[in-house]
Amino acid sequence: MSMSEARKWAVGELGSIAVRDERIANRLVETAATLAENPGRTIPQACGSWAKTKAVYRLLDNESVSPEVILSSHREKTIERMKGHDVILAIQDTTHLVYGGPPSGGVGMNSTCPYSKGFLMHSAMAVTSEGVPLGLLDQHIWTRQPEETGKFHLRKKRPIEDKESSKWLRSLDRSLEGIPDDITVVTVCDREADIYGFIRKALMDERLILIRVAQNRRVIEEQRRLFALADSYPEAGKIVVDIPRDTRNNLPPRKATLTVKFFRAIIWPTLGQTKQMVEKPVYIIRAKEVDPPEEVEEGVDWLLLTTIPVNSLEDAMEKIRWYTLRWRIERFHHILKSGCGIQELQLETADRLKNAIALYSLVALKILWFTYQARETPNASCAMILERYEWQALCCVVNNTSIPPDSPPTLEEAARLIGRLGGHLGRKHDGMPGAKTISRGLRRLEDISQAWLIMSQMLNRPIDVGNA
């Protein structure tokens, strides 16, 4: 992304930011553009001079700047992008940001280890039902204080509002603020959200949730618990889903055939919480993989819980597809850490780091959007994100030719070429490059395109830096 394109994007995301000093708003736009132009580089590397670097540091220290302020304008733009979609998935997840060394400078613990310095970050990301990421609806960054550790045994006696798990309830409310009534928002979470207080709130407030079950809860209507009850139901049909690459076990992406069952039930709360019981039904979907590959230790076996009525196989299959889109937020976290290098920042204070995390979150979302937009609208022109000299340099370098094309490649073609720069082999069975590969490729493209401009000037070759 060129500086001019990066600035257009930054103005679009941060142009309505509410700060008293217009100079601060302009500096935020310029800083976001600089970071977007140079993803994965340190702030000094991205800025290119000590004067610009110092200006960014002063901005991150400014008392008028906070993650909430930075993300407020972006959230408004996200809601605008949601319009025209009947269903939006608000995908919630938590990740750990580690900076090493003992907690200091306001940077506290991010785990129970007393020597793990950093933050926890909980985000809610808006995604279309087709899987295109639209932006953040909520983001909360915090640290664990040493005095809060060692209280696991008291978890059943403490109200959920006093626990860290209240993050799920907070984002559930926050994700719906300011959303037009004609847009249906479904909150999607992994097993960590299987908390009765969260389910109870969704039932009481008539919120739509879809979570993966972790606890084998009792069912009012039956003497059996959820997992055994699910086993007793007949198979309703089968569905084929895409399973992403398993980086932990070095397994390639694959397609999995799942058997599907569904039923409704009224569940008991956790022991000691019976007074909080809500006698409203939830809907349970069982999705279990048929004949998983030998190299896979455990095949897919999901027990999903939703407050949305599931009355047919088609309803159940729809919810399963929605749940598979939960990986989008994991990709976002991966880009933020590996593609943007957020854990490599050395900003000394918690306030600086939190503000930088918010800005880099927008950059990571931009990369994620490009990755999936190339899959959803592959035939669109890449001129919507790349300037002429960028896509010409891209085509020439990857294809090893000195003659640039006259017309821009499509988004899919550009994504594959950028992926090649990022290490994607481009074989037939490799599929499209992922977000991490795209982010690496974009960093290389910035250097290549700048060299292309310099060499063209040295050769007195006229270069059109526009998109047309």
pLDDT, tens only, 37-92? 877 778 888 888 999 999 999 999 998 999 999 999 999 999 999 999 999 999 99
Domains and CATH numbers, the chain: 85-151+159-334 (3.90.350.10), 377-458 (1.10.740.10)
At 239 the pLDDT is 95
Place 116 in a pLDDT band, splitting at 50, 70 and 90: low
Tell me which long-range contacts 252-256 makes (C-beta under 8 A, separation of at least 24).
253/431, 254/293, 256/289, 256/292, 256/299, 256/300
Nearest CA-CA partner of 308 in 193, 201, 203: 203
Average pLDDT over residues 272-283: 82
Which pairing describes strands 184-189 and 87-98: parallel, antiparallel, or unpaired?
A: parallel
What radius of gyration, in Å, describes the C-alpha atoms of the chain? 24
Q: Which neighbouring-strand residues pair with 254? A: 243
What are 218's strand-pairing partners? 225
Q: What would the mean pLDDT of 15-29 be, rounded to a whole number?
A: 84
Name the burial class of residue 142, with classes exposed (0-12), middle (13-18) and buried (19+) by CB atoms within 10 angstroms of its CB. Answer: middle
Q: Could you tell me if 269 and 276 are in contact, meaning their C-beta atoms sit under 8 angstroms apart? A: yes
Residue with tokens 């809907």: 283
- Cα→Cα distances 143→97, 337, 350, Å: 10, 18, 10
Which residue from 332, 411, 409, 413 is spatially nearest to 376, judged by alpha carbons? 411
Per-residue pLDDT tens digits for 373-426: 888 888 999 887 888 888 989 999 999 988 888 899 999 999 999 999 988 887
Residue % of the chain over a pLDDT of 70: 88
pLDDT of residue 468: 43
**Average pLDDT, integer, range 11-25:** 83
Q: Is 192 exposed, middle or buried (0-12, 13-18, 19+ CB in 10 A)?
A: middle
CA distance 246 to 243: 8
Q: Calculate the alpha carbon distances from 409 to 369, 376, 412, 435, 437 in Å.
A: 18, 16, 8, 19, 19
Given this model, what pLDDT does residue 202 score? 95
